[in-house]
Chain A
Amino acid sequence: MKLRETNVGRSIFRSPDRKTERDRAAGHWSSFLLHIYPVKVRREELHFRYSWYLGVASTVLLASLVVSGVYLMFFYVPSPTTAYGDMQTIQTEVAFGQFIRNVHRWSAHLMVITVAAHMARVFYRGAYKPPREFNWVIGVFLLILTLLLSFTGYLLPWDQLAYWAVTVGTSMADFVPFIGGSAREVLVGGDQVGAATLIRFYVLHVALLPLIMVAFLLVHLWRWRKDAMLDQERPGMGLGPHAGEEGGVGAPPGSGKQGGGE
């Protein structure tokens, strides 16, 4: 007897049968782990060329950054007197410290690239068009958040590279009319990058920005799922190669009926 056919299994998975497609859809629908996904998608979405899987790649990189970042937090104290020494300790004494730091850094650089490329792919596929306009807007905020997370993390090693890159970066804020000077004050915590800047960037980098990022990402993915199912309920909402053309809407008329989304 299969686990999911026992009383315990039934309490966890709800849907014991996996014989027909309908059973499998019901199993998917009652799974917590799968709730971020629609039950069905159009076949075209399976192809590499559809999204180049760049959204997925960005999500995986974010996960890798959270895991490696939490590990680094165990060994790092954000103060000018300790930060640099902690980096050296991480690289020389901490188990897998150098490796985890490398993974964190390369994931961060790569994520900037995959997110920007994801945006370009979404553009060329026309996937920002109705009904997906708002998900594009959320995407723009995700891109800005990705850049801010990278930038705040850049300061933390407290080496020459970090210090001067952030000095250049924050000095740009000075040129914003009226609020620029005070915006820079708030960010840097003084007129020069120092201890106050480090603790501010640290809190932004490990707490505030990740929380905002995850919140936006959850809305982004939720919208993706909702929009995928919307396609199935309303013919013409699809993203087929001929979407929006005379007599050639994305979804052939009537295909909405077969939608098994909900």
Chain B
Amino acid sequence: MSDTDPREVEGKRLLGIVPGQPATGERKVPEEQDLVTVWPHLLVRHAVVGVAVLLFVLILGILFDAPLREVANPFETPNPEKAPWYFAALQELLSHFHPLVAGVLVPGAVIVGMIALPYIDRNPAARPALRKVAVVVFTSFLVVWILLTLIGFAFRGENWGWVWPWDEWHGEL
């Protein structure tokens, strides 16, 4: 049997038999940087994740009803007046700083900063230990933003005063 003419045995290509060795040869230990085909390896995982996410929202939809309050009434201002939760951090900032700062400068700086990030941070390292400044700055921002969102969403009641969410609940989804 020549090298250029592999025969097939039970669907496997027969390349040669070496006495004392397993017929399949030495197994290569796959490394993280080795390439694998997207089908099936990645696609199967994406399909599983996709179905799981879909099932999750379908179950949420069965268990919980979306809110519908009374019809809109321009003459009856609710107290507190709440923006949607993803703007709660901004609304919380607005209650502390001049609107020009909290409503314009901060969100503007956040957007510009995020767009500029890959052009400012030119450190090529990927490991967090080697990019402490970037990790600390980003993490601080994230923590502050999540805290502000939580406070604006759950800890603010009438006239934007402080409430404990377990005493009074004012969060709306």
Chain B residue numbers with a CB within 8 Å of A130 are: 118, 124
Chain A residue numbers with a CB within 8 Å of B71 are: 84, 158-160
- In the bound assembly, the distance between CA atoms of A105 and B45 in angstroms comes to 26
- In the bound assembly, the distance between CA atoms of A247 and B94 in angstroms comes to 49
Q: Is the CB of A106 within 8 A of B73?
A: no
6 shortest interchain CB distances as A-B pairs: A244-B124, A133-B118, A163-B72, A102-B61, A175-B99, A126-B126
B169 CB-CB contact with A under 8 Å: no
Point out the residue from A84, A103, A160, A169 that lies within 8 Å of B87, measured CB to CB: A169
Contact (A241, B126) CB under 8 Å given A168-B83, A255-B33: yes
Interface string of B42-61 (1 = CB under 8 A from A): 11011001100110111011
Q: Is the CB of B126 within 8 A of A151?
A: no
Q: Is the CB of B119 within 8 A of A133?
A: yes
What are 28 A-B contacts with C-beta separation under 8 Å?
A: A37-B42, A38-B38, A42-B36, A43-B32, A46-B36, A53-B46, A60-B50, A103-B60, A103-B61, A106-B60, A120-B138, A128-B118, A144-B111, A157-B68, A158-B71, A160-B76, A162-B72, A164-B82, A167-B81, A172-B103, A192-B74, A238-B33, A243-B126, A244-B123, A244-B125, A244-B130, A255-B33, A260-B37
- In the bound assembly, the distance between CA atoms of A165 and B69 in angstroms comes to 12
B96 CB-CB contact with A under 8 Å: no
Smallest CB separation, A182 vs chain B (Å): 15
With CB as the reference atom, state the residue of chain B lying closest to A52: B49
Contact (A140, B124) CB under 8 Å given A159-B69, A169-B83: no
Q: Is the CB of A160 within 8 A of B100?
A: no
Contact (A87, B68) CB under 8 Å given A42-B33, A103-B58, A175-B99: yes
- Among A105, A239, A245, chain B packs the most CB atoms within 10 A around the CB of A105
Smallest CB separation, B8 vs chain A (Å): 9
Contact (A99, B126) CB under 8 Å given A151-B87, A159-B69: no
Chain B residue numbers with a CB within 8 Å of A144 are: 111
B109 CB-CB contact with A under 8 Å: no
Smallest CB separation, A67 vs chain B (Å): 10
Q: Is the CB of A103 within 8 A of B57?
A: yes
Interface string of B97-128 (1 = CB under 8 A from A): 00110011000000100110111010111111
- In the bound assembly, the distance between CA atoms of A251 and B32 in angstroms comes to 9
- In the bound assembly, the distance between CA atoms of A137 and B62 in angstroms comes to 37
Chain B residue numbers with a CB within 8 Å of A244 are: 123-126, 130
With CB as the reference atom, state the residue of chain A lying closest to B74: A192
Q: Is the CB of A40 within 8 A of B37?
A: yes
Q: Is the CB of A164 within 8 A of B66?
A: no
Smallest CB separation, B71 vs chain A (Å): 4
Chain B residue numbers with a CB within 8 Å of A137 are: 115, 118
Q: Is the CB of B99 within 8 A of A91?
A: no
Contact (A232, B126) CB under 8 Å given A106-B60, A159-B71: no
Q: Is the CB of A150 within 8 A of B81?
A: no
A32 CB-CB contact with B under 8 Å: no
- In the bound assembly, the distance between CA atoms of A227 and B150 in angstroms comes to 36
Q: Is the CB of A61 within 8 A of B73?
A: no
